[in-house]
Chain A
Amino acid sequence: MQVKSENFNQVINIALEQILATILPKLLSVPSPCFLQRDAAVVYNEWMAGIMLAGPPLRSIIKLHFNHPTLRKWSYSQEDSKINDQMKEICNILSGTFKYYLERVELQVGISLPFIASGMDEALFVDSRKESAAFYACNIITGDQPLMTFSHELEVMDKKKIANLEKLPEIILSSHTEPDSDDGMEML
């Protein structure tokens, strides 16, 4: 039975924001980013990097909406393809770290390869999301300038099994240590 849960979503969002705050300065030359929640029903930009996580208790899609001219200021490369690779890598690390913490609360999920898509897809096919999925979006601001937008969709399949999810922010905060990039990751 599918279960909709805003509470679980909120927990996961906090967790993902914490992870992003940790990894973004390492992968882009940005100072500490801040997160500003968006109310817009549709979130998109010129491009979108995404990755899917799926397991018996939940399904999740994590997306970063960006455009190349903005990221050129912060990226180590000026080439669009390299920037795309960089954004895919951010998605990959974000999902890998997330998977690591999910396993810490005994939730097993698999991860897809990251992908790049046109940002317009998000605007044109927003209804393809299931009604049962929870949606979250925030603008990532660096300094006083928008850097990109992060969005996340979560569909809980088994509410009982994800009960431990509430411990996740605490675990992340207490860990303070970066997980081994290969430890516990299941590469496809």
Chain B
Amino acid sequence: MTGDMMYGLVTGILFGFLLQKGRVIRYDKQIGALRLIDMTIVKFMLTAIVVGMIGTYALVDLGLAKLSIKPMIVGAIVIGGLIFGVGWGLFGYCPGTSLGAVGEGRLDGLWEWPACWLARGDLRRDLSPDESDGAHMGKFWQNYIAANLGRKPLVGYPSDRDWEYILISMVGEKRSVAD
């Protein structure tokens, strides 16, 4: 086990411990918040954010840490976020902390493992019926978007980044997606 992995384990144990003590990982609390009848997880989360924010920026200012900010891609984040929310409301656990729920005996949290199977691929390719058919939806979008943005069509098969193309084209956000 490398040092990084060791730190990951320790951090995870502390995080899981606090999540359980704060009673924020169980279904009743998560759905309670979404039903707006139990604000426990909101209190927990916003306090963690406020405290973490101060410390993180102090570290950054002292040159002891670097920020790692995910780009704001309006289409991907808004649509993906809403889709996530729909799944969250049905599942009742955050995928990431669903194992924490299992840790306190809530076995239905285990469903995340078979569930993530369907989300493992290059989503758009898997959703496209036939890759050799130039007229299918994926290709259509690809050409449509490439033409609209004045970019060359993508080489190779579309991947996650292409979702961004699609979503960006729908929302109209102008941003280079070339990483």
Is A bound to B?
no
**What residues of chain B have their CB less than 8 Å away from a CB belonging to chain A?**
none
A residues whose Cβ falls under 8 Å from a Cβ of B? none
